[in-house]
């Protein structure tokens, strides 16, 4: 192969981000059920260099899974933690306590905002606490059906996003993940299937906001993913969106056929895009 084409392939590969597939198990699976699911996933999911697979089990299960998982295939995420590093907060676990166990933490999920009344300031403090403790935030933003019907999607996304990242530097934002999860599309809250074209508009708006405040490089580097009723049949439609860096999966992540099918879809799309960029 000619040297110049070797260099161009390497350049393209370096430019391509790894696709992020995150399974949010929510309050499901006890320790032995979780262990069985990971075992099944390890059998089915290959060690892909172009895909990062992240599992977010319950707090109780994080520690045992951290010793079970094949770290070449999986990373762990917390579903929540407390914004203070330590203190008299009965029943809570801090990001500081999780720093050797997880790479990521889901913050601002609509179930936390709605059921646990987490407001913009709490979420901002949790994002800062995660970063302070070396954990990458997966910040969830998304409008409700009522807000969407009222034409308030951009305002809601703007407020959730700008407040949450207001204590971060550009470099810290570049390292984080922003998950666009319209509340109406999440299976728990209605599970309406979102059209990829509509999702693209909001994802573009998210990058535009980051660009306005922190510059073009930061907006291009930050990973923006989609979440809401994603399964193995429809994942490809979202993963194919220009600028979509992955998916956050709830219900379907509890089923190893479906979740490994989503990883397969991501792999196909990654390879197809790589071929297109290389003119093959």
Site for ligand PGA in 232-251 (CB under 6 A): 248-251
Q: Smallest gap, in angstroms, from Cβ of residue 160 to ligand PGA? A: 15
Contact between 44 and 8 under an 8 Å Cβ cutoff? The reply is no
Name which of 52 and 214 has its Cβ closer to ligand PGA: 52
Is 270 among the residues known to form the active site?
Answer: no
180 beta partners: 141, 226
Site for ligand PGA in 158-217 (CB under 6 A): 181, 186-187
What's the gap between Cα 100 and its chain centre? 19
Q: Is 57 in the site for ligand PGA (CB under 6 A)?
A: no
Q: Is 108 in the site for ligand PGA (CB under 6 A)?
A: no
248 beta partners: 22, 227
Is 117 among the residues known to form the active site?
Answer: no
Question: Residue from 57, 108, 182, 228 that binds ligand PGA (CB under 6 A)?
Answer: 228
Three-class secondary structure assignment of 49-73: CCEEEEEECCHHHHHHHHHHCCCCC
Q: Which two tokens stand for residue 89?
A: 């907060």
Name which of 65 and 249 has its Cβ closer to ligand PGA: 249
Please report, for residues 25, 78, 139, 269, the alpha-carbon distance to residue 236 in angstroms, rounded to integers and kept in the order given: 21, 26, 22, 7
Distance CA 71, CA 134 (A): 18
Provide the mask over 6-25, with x wherever binding to ligand PGA is found by CB under 6 A and - wherever it is not. ------------------x-
Contact between 12 and 274 under an 8 Å Cβ cutoff? The reply is yes
Name which of 24 and 80 has its Cβ closer to ligand PGA: 24
Q: Smallest gap, in angstroms, from Cβ of residue 251 to ligand PGA? A: 3
List the catalytic residues.
109, 181
Residues that bind ligand PGA (CB under 6 A): 24, 181, 186-187, 227-230, 248-252
């Amino acid at each position: 192969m000619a040297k110049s084409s070797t260099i161009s392939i390497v350049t393209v590969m370096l430019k391509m981000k790894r696709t992020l597939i995150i399974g949010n198990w929510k309050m499901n699976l006890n320790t032995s059920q979780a262990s069985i699911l990971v075992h099944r996933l390890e059998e089915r999911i290959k060690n892909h260099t172009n895909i990062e697979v992240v599992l977010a089990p319950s707090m109780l299960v994080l520690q045992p899974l951290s010793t079970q998982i094949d770290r070449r295939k999986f990373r762990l995420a917390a579903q929540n933690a407390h914004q203070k590093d330590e203190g008299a907060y009965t029943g809570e676990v801090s990001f500081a306590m999780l720093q050797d166990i997880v790479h990521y933490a889901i913050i601002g999920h609509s179930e936390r905002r709605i059921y646990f009344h987490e407001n913009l300031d709490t979420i901002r403090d949790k994002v800062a606490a995660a970063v302070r403790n070396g954990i990458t935030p997966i910040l969830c933003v998304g409008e409700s059906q009522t807000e969407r019907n009222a034409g308030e999607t951009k305002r809601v996304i703007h407020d959730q996003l700008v407040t949450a990242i207001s204590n971060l530097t550009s470099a810290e934002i570049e390292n984080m993940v922003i998950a666009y999860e319209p509340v109406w599309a999440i299976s728990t809250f209605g599970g309406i299937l979102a059209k990829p074209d509509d999702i693209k508009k909001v994802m573009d708006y998210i990058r535009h906001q980051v660009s306005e405040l922190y510059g073009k490089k930061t907006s291009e580097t930050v990973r923006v993913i989609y979440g809401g009723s994603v399964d193995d049949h429809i994942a490809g439609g979202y993963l194919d969106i220009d600028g979509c860096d992955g998916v956050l999966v709830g219900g379907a992540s509890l089923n190893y056929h479906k979740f490994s099918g989503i990883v397969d879809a991501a792999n196909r799309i990654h390879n197809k895009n790589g071929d297109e960029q290389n003119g093959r």
